[in-house]
Structure 1
């Protein structure tokens, strides 16, 4: 089941109502809104401290890449301090909701990462590191 929960400040207190049995979090960032990156980083890191999100796969979509002057994925990775996230598998992808760029690629990564954590780790726990950031680990 997927839920779209808006990011407006008035809706944020309700986010925690949706955390039970969450296997993945898709975080969509407006790549053109440089002014809100600090707020975005603070909210994301705060959410990742929630016990009910422990270990959930994290996909960050750097949206609005079709707009000139938007931040690159690398700039957003740095602004959100993603490399400090060690408790969740994560991936950042540039995307565009208008053109569809990388939407399927991102969702495929989420499905594969969740399956890898939930299924493969139960049959090959010695082949999957408990924590890492960035690209998913290969399971042979």
Structure 2
């Protein structure tokens, strides 16, 4: 429960739609300004480790927003998050795409800092792309729009 759905609800100008293309894989979508945002919850999906599934989920994406629960210090879960993030970001379809990491639950005492998240996810190893860690509080929306504003700037730069 990193807070993906809560963050989507902060942004929505239309209803959040939900569907399951594969068993255990929840997808929620919302229209935000002129951008269609699809939110993938890959935690329960057995196929997410397969290259075929990664190619399917990465196709036609302009950017990646990765939501991290900054209160979950379970080493195994942090390593899994890092592994999944790096697997996806190494897909050919995502080469050069900007990455926004929403470091969520910053309102909870002891939450991982931006530098903690950067180190834990080995973000400096993601060469050839712009990335940013944005501290957020999903329940209030604090920081979310600032992160998306940064992402918008990156996408405009790529189109030039």
Name the TM tier (shorter chain).
0.7 to 0.9
- 2:148 pairs with 107, 110, 114, which one? 107
Segments of 5+ residues of structure 2 without an aligned counterpart are 1-35
CA offset at residue 17 of structure 1?
Answer: 2.3
What residue is the counterpart of 1:76 in the other structure?
117
CA distance in 2, matches of 1:70, 1:5: 23
Describe how 1:10-29 pairs up with structure 2 within 5 A.
Answer: 10=45, 13=48, 14=53, 16-29=55-68
Give RMSD over aligned pairs.
1.5
CA offset at residue 9 of structure 1?
Answer: 3.3
CA offset at residue 11 of structure 1?
Answer: 6.4
CA distance in 1, matches of 2:116, 2:79: 12
Segments of 5+ residues of structure 1 without an aligned counterpart are 120-140
What residue is the counterpart of 1:65 in the other structure?
106
Q: What whole-Å deviation, never above 9, does each CA across 1:10-48 have from its counterpart, x for those lacking one? A: 266255423222110000000011111111111111111
Secondary structure in structure 1 of the residue aligned to 2:80: helix
CA distance in 2, matches of 1:82, 1:2: 23
What residue is the counterpart of 2:159 in the other structure?
118
Does residue 1:41 correspond to 2:82, yes or no? Answer: yes
Runs of 4+ in structure 1 deviating by more than 2 angstroms, as ranges, are: 11-18
Cα pair 2:58 2:88 within 8 Å, conserved:
no
- Normalised to the residue count of structure 2, the TM-score between the two structures is 0.69
Pairs aligned (count): 119
